[in-house]
Amino acid sequence: MAASRNTDEDLGTYDYVVIGAGSAGCVMAARLGEDAAARILVLEAGGSDRSIFVQMPTAFSIPMNTRRFNWGMSTEPEPGLGGRVMNLPRGKGLGGSSSINGMCWVRGNPIDYELWSALGAEGWHWANVLPYFKRLENVPDGGDRRGTDGPISVSRGCQSNPLYQAFVAAGQQAGYAVSDNMNDLQHEGFGPMEMSVGRGERASAAVGYLRPAMRRKNVRVIQNAQVDRLILEGRRVTGVLFTRNGRTMRAQAGRDVILSAGSIMSPTILKRSGIGPAEELKENGIAVIADRDQVGGNLMDHLEIYLQMECRQPVTLFSHMSPLRKALLGARWMLMRDGLGATNHFESGGHIRSRAGIVYPDIQYHFLPLAVSYDGKSMVSGHGFQVHVGTKRSKSRGWVKLRSADARDLPRVRFNYMTHPDDWQEMRACIRLTREIFAQEAFAPYRGQELAPGADCQDDACIDQFLKDKVESAYHPCGTCRMGTDDAAVVDPLTMKLKGIEGLRVVDSSVLPQATAGDLNAPTLVMAERAADLVRGLSLPSAEDAPLLADPNWATCQRSPQITRDYAQDRDTLRAALLENTKTPKNNQPTGE
């Protein structure tokens, strides 16, 4: 292993050392700290999340593009996209990516968790996961399957813009189901979206979990702590070596180190510690403690494309994009915590299937009454609207690899986007099915010309080139320390322990065996909630009312106005269909270099 700098300070021993104050790390610190006798140390590479731009929901593109809150990563050239280098923002600071994301609150489809279980994540089926969603949510008037007093506030926008209703109506006119709440009984269909916003402010993991935990005094947080590596005695992790303000420091863990640095940095830290593919470790001068081939492999993400339309009526958010209107919007938010500053503007959306034979939705829509890029850097000059649409279970797999053994060097990341042929079929369906929805009568009063990709882009070759040039990440990386019961899996799903290593648990989006059908923050939080109980030897009772709804004719129909079949009593049939739908590359290995 590469030589370390001299240790300047030993912080002593804590019961748990949590690496990362992102979404999962905040949950772990809070829940483990509920034991007043336990001493918790949290190491966060970034700094404070206190900023008006983090708090104000409408301003989320600002922290997403600010080095104070973002690691500033980008991918290696992506071979499936003609060598494009893609932006890869990852949260850095208290709250992690929950402090810079778009705040879309999407549990995913209940069948997602049945798929986790089918892929080897034993114990992670929907009836076991639902009680933890209820524990973490604070949803006003939530109902039986929602939480009403949890740490994360969940709300809806006021949907005052008529385009939100037009989008849902158009989906219904195209033959799809409508759902009153896509986070409750019925995920499939079109309806209002929810956001992790409470009282007009971003409800990050730092706000909901970490700050209350810190007030207990048994949870200590050290900011600007760059973790170098884990300290191992044989195959047992005993502590963490990190750097802060130029000084090398160490902290010991009496019980466990909890690695919650995220899907990119968790495998990076493991590799610097000698846990990972032996050949890669040796190439970087690192002694091999445990040869684990899938550490850093199996990398997944969601891709999406924008379809943009001209709007013939001046009802879009473009009216509020002048400096004066933005200032007025901000002033109202600062005084009242309401208005357009208190929403992420993704107030309606949908979940559909790309073709017949798919059990549950693999396409997601976020509708926006403005034509603008997700990062806010480019906007159409005029009134327009758009949907962000993409597939949710891509079969392409990528990797995270060391650039060097030096903790100051960010890793190399390649997703291998669009390197599986099925991904092209599904993304073409995204464009064609969306055009059909925009062509419905509900949009007739508003629909102008198609701005992107443009009405002349019709054949597969043109659509494929548009995708290759314009597709973007939805910023949902996961899977690089996959949990499962098979020998190749990295993490034990029953304990969250890294297999073959004592004293180390991995709890963050890296352990997800499959990306869910929606945004990833809610699934990451619920995973951490349940993981915290597994670490403590606890478990909430399974939910008795946990339906698994699907279109009864999914095998032969791509869409249906009724999503009525409940597979809760026929999980074996469901499991077989899911595994057939989601066959991945041989041995679940990353493709490409």
Closest CA to 158 of 328, 344, 295: 344
Domain assignment of residue 148, yes or no = yes
Residue 425 to residues 39, 306, 406, 433, 460, Cα–Cα distance (Å): 51, 17, 41, 12, 9
Specify the pLDDT at position 107.
Answer: 98
pTM: 0.96
Q: What is the dihedral angle through the alpha carbons of 173, 176, 180, 184, rounded to the nearest 10 degrees?
A: -170
Ordered alpha helix ranges (H), 215-318: 262-272, 278-283
388 in active site: no
Handedness of CA 546, 549, 552, 556 (dihedral sign): negative
Domain assignment of residue 507, yes or no = yes
Specify the pLDDT at position 375.
Answer: 60
HSE-CB at 111 with a 13 A cutoff on CA atoms is 32
Residue 186 to residues 131, 158, 177, 547, 561, Cα–Cα distance (Å): 17, 21, 9, 9, 12
CB atoms within 10 A of CB 129: 28
Closest CA to 180 of 132, 145, 148: 145
Domain assignment of residue 201, yes or no = yes
Specify the pLDDT at position 374.
Answer: 56
Please write the tens of the pLDDT for every residue from 445-478. 999 999 999 999 999 999 999 999 999 999 999 9
- Residue ranges in the chain whose pLDDT is less than 70: 1-7, 373-378, 584-593
| 570 Cβ contact list (under 8 Å, min separation 6) | none
Specify the pLDDT at position 131.
Answer: 98
Quick one: tokens of 359?
């059990």
Domain with 378 in it: 9-544+557-588
Task: Determine contact, residues 395/583, Cβ cutoff 8 Å.
Answer: yes
CATH of the domain at 441: 3.50.50.60
Closest CA to 263 of 152, 398, 435, 452: 398
Considering the candidates 345, 366, 388, 476, report the single residue annotated as catalytic. 476
Specify the pLDDT at position 2.
Answer: 40
Specify the pLDDT at position 585.
Answer: 42
Q: How many domains does the chain have?
A: 1
In angstroms, the CA 29 to CA 531 distance is 12
Domain assignment of residue 471, yes or no = yes
Domain assignment of residue 552, yes or no = no
Please write the tens of the pLDDT for every residue from 36-81. 999 999 999 999 999 999 999 999 999 998 999 999 999 999 999 9
| Long-range pairs, 407-411, Cβ under 8 A, ≥24 | 407/226, 407/227, 407/228, 407/229, 407/243, 407/272, 408/226, 410/71, 410/72, 410/73, 411/264, 411/265, 411/267, 411/268, 411/296
Domain assignment of residue 3, yes or no = no
Tell me how long the chain is: 593
Closest CA to 521 of 152, 48, 46: 152
Domain assignment of residue 228, yes or no = yes
Domain assignment of residue 91, yes or no = yes
Closest CA to 499 of 294, 251, 201, 287: 294
Specify the pLDDT at position 461.
Answer: 98
In angstroms, the CA 411 to CA 557 distance is 43
Specify the pLDDT at position 8.
Answer: 78
Residue 343 to residues 89, 340, 375, 378, 435, Cα–Cα distance (Å): 21, 6, 16, 20, 27
C-alpha 23, offset from chain centre: 10
Please write the tens of the pLDDT for every residue from 431-447. 999 999 999 999 999 99
Residue 491 marked ligand-binding: no
Q: Is 171 exposed, middle or buried (0-12, 13-18, 19+ CB in 10 A)?
A: buried
Q: What is the dihedral angle through the alpha carbons of 93, 98, 101, 103, rounded to the nearest 10 degrees?
A: -150
Closest CA to 381 of 291, 308, 430: 308
Q: Angle at CA 301, nearest 5°, toward 367 and 511?
A: 125
